[in-house]
Structure 1
Amino acid sequence: MDLSRQKEQFSIAWVRAVVSVAGYAVYQPEVDDDSVDLGIAVRGGRGTVRSPRLEVQLKCTAEPIWQSDPMRFTLKKKNYDDLRGDDLLVPRMLIVVCVPEDVDRWIDQNEERMILQRCGYFLSLRTFPARSDGKASVTVPIPRRQQFTVAALRDIMCEIGQGRRP
């Protein structure tokens, strides 16, 4: 498997691990033509919106973007346009999983634990402006405090369940 596919599969596994611990379900579109790699669904819920959902675009990088705050991540303009805006039925987010350059360091495991190296970060592009500068890519700032953790995911899904957009 080439490195690009390894990154793709690792980011999917990483997000699935967080989602499963949060107690939610993951669904995967048959075709990724709308910049949605995975969907996250809550069964039922106690908010004003029943069964809230979130759709995510996953990216994985070994670039040391995590060394700055905010991190700067470059997206294809198509992905940027598909993720931004307030007119989506299901809210969308970008999740960037940062990994070590050495693939053999992505996982550290023994009988007691398995550590997935490094960290994932999320960004809602809902309020980002349309871009018409003719460039093929857009660089977005991702605050390091926006780590994609179980607690953060629960907060996001609760917000969606209350009828608010993250």
Structure 2
Amino acid sequence: MKKKKEQFSNIYLQAVTTVAGYSLYTPSVDDDSVDWGVAAKGGGIGPISAPRLELQLKSTSRDIQDNHFIRYPLNLKNYDDLRMDNFAIPRILVVVLIPEIPEDWLTQSETELCIRNCGYWTSLRGKPKTQNTNAVTVAIPRTNQFTVLALQSIMEGISQGVQP
């Protein structure tokens, strides 16, 4: 089931990125908690051309949300890798919530394909070191939905020199 969730979250990311107008790449080895990279083409709207973004992609069907936050238990290695602030390419965490039952993951008709639930993003850049030894529960605001508009905004910010 874990592999199915991973593949489903990859499809979610691919759909959002494609509609946003960017390309995706994957590192050959995930040593630095980077599963995917997002790349814009050529000249952007800001002084930085061809902005890029790297991300760690997670998925879960556990009930980890309340009215305001997604509270995801992130492996300590991933937390430490993503909290560093000296990367040439900014990094974010994206957590995709998936229904428990695979048959509920999507619906389709002749006119639409609906992927169920939602992805959320956060930057851990500059977060403090922790005394935890296994995991850190990361609180992602529910307003940080990983949507086409959100990704475009992040990429436009990077082209202006603004780190997410």
TM-score (norm 2): 0.96
* Counterpart amino acid of residue 24 in structure 1: Y
1:100 aligned onto 2:99: yes
| Per-residue deviation, 1:53 | 0.3
- In the alignment, what sits opposite 1:7? 5
Paired residues of 2:55 and 2:91 also in contact (CA < 8 A): yes
What secondary structure does 1:65 align onto?
coil
Which residue does 1:158 correspond to in 2?
156
Root-mean-square deviation (Å): 1.0
Map residues 79-118 of structure 1 onto 2, 5 A cutoff.
79-118=78-117
**Partner in structure 2 of residue 121 of structure 1:** 120
Deviation at 1:48, TM superposition (A): 1.0
- Deviation string 1:48-71 (CA, Å, 9 cap, x unpaired) is 111100001000000122344222
The 5 Å alignment of 1:1-166 reads 3-44=1-42, 45-131=44-130, 133-166=131-164
* Aligned AA (2:59): C
Separation (CA, whole Å) in 2 of partners of 1:33 and 1:86: 17
In 2, are the aligned partners of 1:105 and 1:117 still within 8 Å (CA)? yes
In 2, distance between residues paired with 1:77 and 1:53? 25
Match of 1:15, SS? Answer: helix
Query: Unaligned stretches of 5+ in structure 1?
Result: none
- Which stretches of structure 1, 4 residues or longer, exceed 4 Å deviation after superposition? none
Asked if the contact 1:66–1:98 (Cα under 8 Å) also holds between the matched residues in 2, the reply is: no
Asked whether the equivalents of residues 9 and 58 of structure 2 are also in contact (C-alpha less than 8 Å), the reply is yes
In the alignment, residue 105 of structure 1 is paired with which amino acid? D
- Find the aligned partners of 1:70 and 1:120 in 2 and give their Cα distance: 12
| CA shift for structure 1 position 134 | 4.4
Residue 156 of structure 1: CA displacement?
Answer: 0.2
Supply the AA of the counterpart residue of 1:65. I
Range with greater deviation from structure 2 (135-144 or 64-73): 64-73
1:113 & 1:100 partners in 2: Cα distance? 19
| Contact 1:70–1:142, Cα closer than 8 Å, also in 2 | yes
The TM-score normalised by the length of structure 1 is 0.95
Runs (5+) with no aligned partner, structure 2: none
Deviation digits for residues 30-85 of structure 1 (CA, Å, limit 9, x no counterpart)? 11121111100001212111110000100000012234422211000000011112
